[in-house]
């Protein structure tokens, strides 16, 4: 099974920070979607991420490509998991959630990143 396919339970799969780093450095990186609030995005973000707060995602259909893998993230992973599920309900099939969110990313991949 591709790492971007749905799990057998129909839930979005997770991806570790180190796996995401490798994917972002590849020739075909995923679309990175930050589902935190704008003030959080302004405090710390992963380079190249697109801001789409969870509340906005819940309010309507996002304008995201369906033919590209998507990785969503939040602070610790809970909003990211909810966002991944919402996207899958809207027929996005190549969706993953960053496990541990940006906080785990900062710990494992970018220790220079501000944490909150």
Residue 76 lies in a domain: yes
Does the annotation count 2 as an active-site position?
Answer: no
Flag whether 39 is in a domain: yes
DSSP class of 3: T
* 116 vs 109: CA distance, rounded Å: 16
CATH number for 72: 3.40.250.10
Quick check: 4 pLDDT over 60? no
Mean pLDDT value of segment 72-92: 95
Q: Looking at the domain assignment, is residue 8 inside a domain?
A: no
Options 12, 71, 74, 106, the catalytic residue = 74
Predicted TM-score (pTM) of the model is 0.89
114 found inside a domain: no
Judged against a pLDDT cut of 60, whether residue 5 lies above it is answered with: no
Q: For residue 86, what are the domain limits? A: 13-108
To 5 degrees, how large is the angle CA 8–CA 66–CA 52? Answer: 95
The total domain count for the chain is 1
């Amino acid at each position: 099974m591709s790492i971007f396919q749905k799990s057998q339970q129909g839930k979005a799969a997770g991806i570790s920070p180190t796996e995401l780093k490798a994917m972002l450095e590849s020739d075909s990186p995923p679309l990175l979607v930050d589902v935190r609030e704008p003030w959080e995005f302004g405090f710390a973000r992963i380079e190249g991420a697109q801001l789409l707060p969870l509340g906005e995602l819940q309010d309507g259909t996002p304008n995201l490509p369906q033919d590209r893998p998507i990785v969503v993230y939040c602070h610790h992973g809970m909003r990211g998991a909810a966002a991944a599920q919402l996207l899958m309900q809207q027929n996005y099939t190549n969706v993953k959630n960053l496990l541990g969110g940006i906080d785990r990313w900062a710990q494992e991949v970018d220790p220079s990143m501000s944490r909150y």
